Structure 1
Amino acid sequence: MASSAVIKLACAVLLCIVVAAPYAEAGITCGMVSSKLAPCIGYLKGGPLGGGCCGGIKALNAAAATTPDRKTACNCLKSAANAIKGINYGKAAGLPGMCGVHIPYAISPSTNCNAVH
């Protein structure tokens, strides 16, 4: 079962790398997004909030200082969320606030990342 989760995470990271290619000028990559948020996956699937989750969210938020970075992070989040089955999107939307972080868009598969500023 654990190897299945690792394979899904690896697929999500690979998918994020492919999605990030058009955003190469941005400082953030989908690999960075995936690695920072990997500790949150268990929580988003119904488990307890892991110790590294909020730290990863805070680090990612600090790294997304420009509009292109925020757009890239948004697209990476959407791709990863679609690739990982069983994500509770209500928990995903509330996670930044739980960690004391404000982001300028909702974490949702329906978010229009092109509208992110």
Structure 2
Amino acid sequence: MAKSMCSIVMLAVIIAVVSVAPPRSEAAISCNTVANALSPCVNYVVYGGVAPPAECCNGARSLYAQVRSTPDRQAVCSCVKSVASSATPAMISNAAALPGKCGISIPYQISPSTDCSKIQ
């Protein structure tokens, strides 16, 4: 159960990372791709800490590099929202802190209430 909650928070991080990539017209990123990229972030999202592990930030950056279109960004957002519904407020807070702690700039707050359809 804690593992699924961690996945939810990590997906929220993905939303933030994906939102700043330039557009392209290819297929959307799958939820499996999102989960695999952010899996090293699970412990940080669940338990917090001073800094996320390097593998977590590397995974987030790798995902960011793959997301280049509006459909990609919206797909990542949808994956995150589907998991976020069962995350605790602390987990969401930890996930929201990841982009900044990994040096990734995003144009919105990570939140389960993010409207994925408005992500460009």
TM-score by structure 2 length?
Answer: 0.69
Higher radius of gyration, 1 or 2: 1
Structure 1 residue runs without a partner (length 5+): 13-24
**Cα RMSD (Å):** 2.5
- The answer to whether the aligner puts 1:99 opposite 2:102 as a matched pair is yes
Q: Which residue of 1 aligns with 2:44?
A: 43
Amino acid at match of 2:47: G
Name structure 2 gaps, 5 residues minimum.
9-25
Contact 1:78 1:107 in 2 (8 A): no
Distance 1:35 1:87 in 2: 22
- Does structure 1 retain, via aligned residues, the 8 Å contact 2:48–2:94? no
Instruction: Provide Cα deviations, 1:33-79, integer angstroms capped at 9, x if missing partner.
Output: 00111111111111442231001110111111111100011111122
Q: 1:108 to 1:46 in 2, by over 3 A?
A: same
Percent same amino acid among aligned pairs? Answer: 41
TM-score (norm 1): 0.70
Tell whether 2:68 aligns with 1:82.
no
**Deviating runs (4+, > 6 A) in structure 1?**
none
Aligned partners of 1:26 and 1:72 also within 8 Å: no
Following superposition of structure 1 onto structure 2, how do residues 49-88 of structure 1 map, counting pairs within 5 Å?
49-83=52-86, 88=91
Aligned residue pair count: 100
